[in-house]
Amino acid sequence: MATLDTHAIARTLTDAGADPKLADAITAAVREAADHGDHVTPDQFKAGLAEMEARLTWRFAGAMLAQTGVILAAVIGAAVAILRMLG
């Protein structure tokens, strides 16, 4: 894993016009996040994305099936009403 150069981060922020205290605070927050260890690896991210895609696909398929059922019920209801009117 690459080492986080906090000095370079702070210098980049101050060079961009950030107050040095703000640059230090942002750098400390970035360091804490990096050290916390709750990162997601690219493989974990891809697996999570694939799982979400699968769930969304099934939900979409279910919604399409329900919509098809509603449309069929409307068409059948209209056909029955027309047949009753015709005799």
- d(Cα 70, Cα 83) in Å, to the nearest integer? 20
- d(Cα 3, Cα 42) in Å, to the nearest integer? 18
For residue 9, what are the domain limits?
A: 1-39
Query: The whole model's pTM is what?
Result: 0.42
Residue of 21, 1, 33 lying closest to 10 (CA atoms): 21
Sign of CA dihedral 58, 59, 65, 68: negative
Q: Residues near 30 by Cβ (< 8 Å), separated by ≥ 6?
A: 4, 6, 9
- Predicted confidence at residue 3, as pLDDT, reads 75
- Predicted confidence at residue 36, as pLDDT, reads 79
- Predicted confidence at residue 2, as pLDDT, reads 61
Total structural domains in the chain? Answer: 2
Residues 30 and 48 in one domain: no
What pLDDT, in 10s, does the model give residues 13-68?
Answer: 999 999 999 999 999 998 888 887 777 888 999 999 999 999 999 999 999 999 99
Among 1-10, 13-22, 50-59, 73-82, where is mean pLDDT lowest? 1-10
Residues 27 and 59 in one domain: no
